[in-house]
Amino acid sequence: MASRLVRTLAGFAPYGVRRSVAGAIVDLKSLPGRLSDRSRWAEPWSFVHNVGNGDFQAIGVMLLDNLKDHAGLKADDQVLDIGCGNGRVAAQLAPLLRGAGGYMGFDISRAGIAACRRRYSGEPHMLFAHLDVWNGEYNQRGRIADVDTVFPAEDGSIDLAFATSVFTHMRMPAARRYLAETTRVLKPGGRFAFTAFVLEPGREASADFAFKPFDETSAAVDVRYPERAIGHRRTSLEAATAAAGLIVARFWRGNWTAGGGYNGGQDLYLAVKP
């Protein structure tokens, strides 16, 4: 009850305060596990850079397993982590890719990237970049327009790119740009795994995500602050994916509403560059 009241009051606060309060709630929930498990003492604190909710370790493991099971992750892949946050997937990928693979993660959170660089300073295969891209929820002072984003990777250099809970905080024009940039950096045959709230008949809202009409392509939980949580219509999202030059190979419904078909909360796509 108390945490629900805090979240309600935080909803009226500036975005930076909202993120810190939400992060503090995550930290409080994780405290017993951190204290009892010495290996978790180095985990980042969400109230400092809250760029991903939930248990840092458990969710990182789940996302790694999904990349293996659904996107064909291999130890010699060159991997691009789009929106790497504070490194919960990077923590799982670092030992796997250490021998023959490589990793580049980027995020719009300066604090999140700083934390990752400190943690992996002795891991030359683990690279991180901060992009000061505008986002209405995570970086309102960003100097780069989201539709002008350029990924920190060379053309045709990436085997596997993934974006976890990135398009859920982006309007469709920005999503189109990110899809185009993903196509640019992927090798022919490269894979792109990404999650989204995909709206289709019978799956357009839930108790936790009460999406309301926002524009012709998308809906938002709060139309005043759409980047808090955005759902995209399936027809619009798949048209944008095709326009970027990617082919949808698989689609799994998540558990954010009824009808989930895998263990993730959000819907999951696997797309391939021809």
Same domain, 115 and 130: yes
Residue 154 is given by DSSP the state -
Same domain, 197 and 62: yes
pLDDT score, position 25: 47
Same domain, 108 and 6: no
CA distances from 80 to 23, 132, 199 (A): 25, 18, 26
**pLDDT tens profile 151-207:** 999 999 999 999 999 999 999 999 999 999 999 999 999 999 999 999 999 999 999
The answer, yes or no, to whether residue 107 has pLDDT greater than 90, is yes
CATH classification of the domain holding 132: 3.40.50.150
Q: Which two tokens stand for residue 12?
A: 């009226």
Same domain, 21 and 102: no
187: burial class by Cβ within 10 Å (0-12, 13-18, 19+)? middle
The answer, yes or no, to whether residue 220 has pLDDT greater than 70, is yes
d(CA 57, CA 149): 29
Helices 56-71, 90-97: crossing angle, 10 deg rounding? 50
pTM of the model: 0.85
Mean local confidence (pLDDT), 5-21 = 47
Q: Which residues of 147-185 are buried (b: 16+ CB within 10 A; e: fewer)?
A: eebebebeeeebbbbbbbbbbbbbbbebbbbbbbbbbbb
Provide the 10 A C-beta neighbour count for residue 122.
6
133: burial class by Cβ within 10 Å (0-12, 13-18, 19+)? buried
Model confidence at 55, in pLDDT bands (50, 70, 90)?
confident
Same domain, 42 and 113: no
Mean local confidence (pLDDT), 4-25 = 47
Same domain, 10 and 33: yes
Mean local confidence (pLDDT), 104-127 = 95
d(CA 32, CA 72): 34
Residue ranges making up the domain that contains 36: 1-50
Poorest-confidence range of 24-28, 83-87, 215-219, 238-242? 24-28
pLDDT score, position 2: 38
The answer, yes or no, to whether residue 8 has pLDDT greater than 80, is no
Same domain, 120 and 25: no
d(CA 219, CA 216): 8
pLDDT score, position 199: 98
Same domain, 80 and 32: no
Number of separate domains in the chain:
2
pLDDT score, position 11: 47
Identify whether the C-beta of residue 266 lies closer than 8 Å to the C-beta of residue 256: yes
Mean local confidence (pLDDT), 232-258 = 98
74 φ/ψ sector (left φ>0, alpha ψ -120 to 50, else beta): beta
Same domain, 210 and 256: yes
Same domain, 137 and 25: no
Provide the 10 A C-beta neighbour count for residue 262.
14
d(CA 97, CA 117): 17
State the first-to-last Cα distance of the chain, in angstroms, to the nearest integer.
51
The answer, yes or no, to whether residue 13 has pLDDT greater than 60, is no
Mean local confidence (pLDDT), 253-266 = 95
pLDDT score, position 57: 84
Q: Which residues pair with 162 in a beta bridge?
A: 81, 193
Mean local confidence (pLDDT), 240-249 = 98
pLDDT score, position 56: 78
Angle, CA of 82, 193 and 255, to the nearest 5°? 105
Same domain, 56 and 46: no
pLDDT score, position 58: 84
Percent of the chain with pLDDT over 90: 77
Helices 2-10, 15-36: crossing angle, 10 deg rounding? 150
The mean predicted confidence, pLDDT, of the chain is 87
Same domain, 8 and 61: no
CA distances from 176 to 42, 63, 142, 163, 271 (A): 36, 23, 19, 13, 14
